[in-house]
Structure 1
Amino acid sequence: MFLGCNNETDYKVIRQEVVDLHNKVMEDGEIASKNRLMLDTLSRIGLKAFKDTQPGIDTITEQKNIAILIGKLDQVDQDMMKWMQEFEPDVEGKGNAEAVKYFEGERIKIKKLDSQYKQILNESDVYLKKFNLIPSSHSMEHDHGKH
């Protein structure tokens, strides 16, 4: 009897990669919440103060910019929640090959969410910096490196 080399990936390895990346993306979700709060505060009260010191500021345009950024932050959070609701870590009844295929697909989805978070966090960071509102504790800490 010849057993040969079994180079098939264990689905548990890929599932763990997905879970680890999910945990990192959740950290970005927390930063997104902080950015959203700062943008909301800026929109409600902060722009008035800037109008006093910078009379040339177009508060109507800035309100629109803030609303767009908040909308993007909300959308990526909604996408993340949807992914988490649909994600099935339990593969009972599936063979290893089928489970590997499923988790490879989920890895693609969570990497896309990671990229979306990075993009909107960068965009909102840049915008908030215009108003000197980025806390030093989160200066670009959301770069997870290459995945």
Structure 2
Amino acid sequence: MKNKITVIATALILIFGACKTEPKANDIKKEVLNIHDKLMIDGEKVIKNRMALDSVLKSEQIKSTQDSLHVADLIIRLNKADENMMDWMHFFKDDFKGKDEQEDLEYYKTQMIKIRAVEDSYIKVTKESDSVLKTYNIKPADKMEMTHHKH
């Protein structure tokens, strides 16, 4: 009886253990590339908002030094978000091949973390720049596609 229970328990562990699979490197790579494609579109909004804020900064609409500094800082942050995207693209290896599937998986997991950080900075700086543009009665660039991915 004990032996039968041990066999059944072992079989169940093997069955349920087999069901819990790690994602495949290609699946993560595909999601990384999907986020990249979305961010390429969102990057246009980052650039348009930066240009609009630059126009505000050069205009006579800003009444205080504090507001000027805030807009200038926002322009710097929009530039930085765009630069971070360009840096990520420059160093990303679409054709990465490690020694084995595990090394491929680790590479693409790392890239997922990096591209998510770029995505988060785009979302934050775009929301803030939209808000500032509205205070100057300037319509922000077309809305970013703010779909949320699992982090």
TM-score (norm 1): 0.81
Residue 33 of structure 1 is matched in structure 2 by: 47
Task: Return closer, same or farther for 1:104/1:22 CA change in 2, 3 Å cut-off.
Answer: same
How many residue pairs were aligned? 133
Q: CA deviation at 1:134?
A: 1.8
The answer for unaligned runs of 5 or more in structure 1 is 52-56
CA positional deviation for 1:126: 0.6
Counterpart-to-counterpart distance in 2, 1:108 and 1:146: 12
CA RMSD of aligned residues (A): 2.0
The one of 117, 124, 131 equivalent to 2:129 is 124
2:57 pairs with 1:43? yes
Q: Normalising by structure 2, report the TM-score.
A: 0.79
SS at match of 1:37: helix
Instruction: Please state how far the C-alpha of 1:65 moved relative to its aligned partner.
Output: 1.4
Match of 2:31 among 8, 12, 17: 17
CA deviations on 1:73-96 (whole Å, 9 max, x unpaired) are 011111111111111111235311
Q: Distance in 2 between matches of 1:93 and 1:138?
A: 40
Counterpart CA distance in 1 for 2:22 and 2:120 is 28
Residue 28 of structure 1: CA displacement?
Answer: 1.8
Which structure has the greater CA radius of gyration? 2
Does the 8 Å contact 2:133/2:139 carry over to 1? yes
- SS of equivalent to 1:88: coil
Structure 2 distance, partners of 1:40, 1:13, is 40
Is the CA contact (8 Å cut-off) linking 1:11 and 1:99 kept in structure 2? yes
Q: Percent identity?
A: 31
- The 3-state SS of whatever aligns with 2:117 is helix
Amino acid at match of 1:143: M
The higher-RCO structure (CA 8 Å, 6+ apart) is 1
Which residue of structure 1 lines up, in the alignment, with residue 4 of structure 2? none
The answer for the alignment partner of 1:144 in structure 2 is: 147
Match of 2:8 in 1: none
Q: Which residue of 2 aligns with 1:69?
A: 74
Contact 2:57 2:68 in 1 (8 A): yes
Listed one character per residue, the Cα deviations across residues 49-108 of structure 1 (whole Å, up to 9, x for unaligned) are x37xxxxx32x2222111100000011111111111111111235311110111011001
| C-alpha displacement of 1:8 | 4.8
**Aligned twin of 2:3:** none
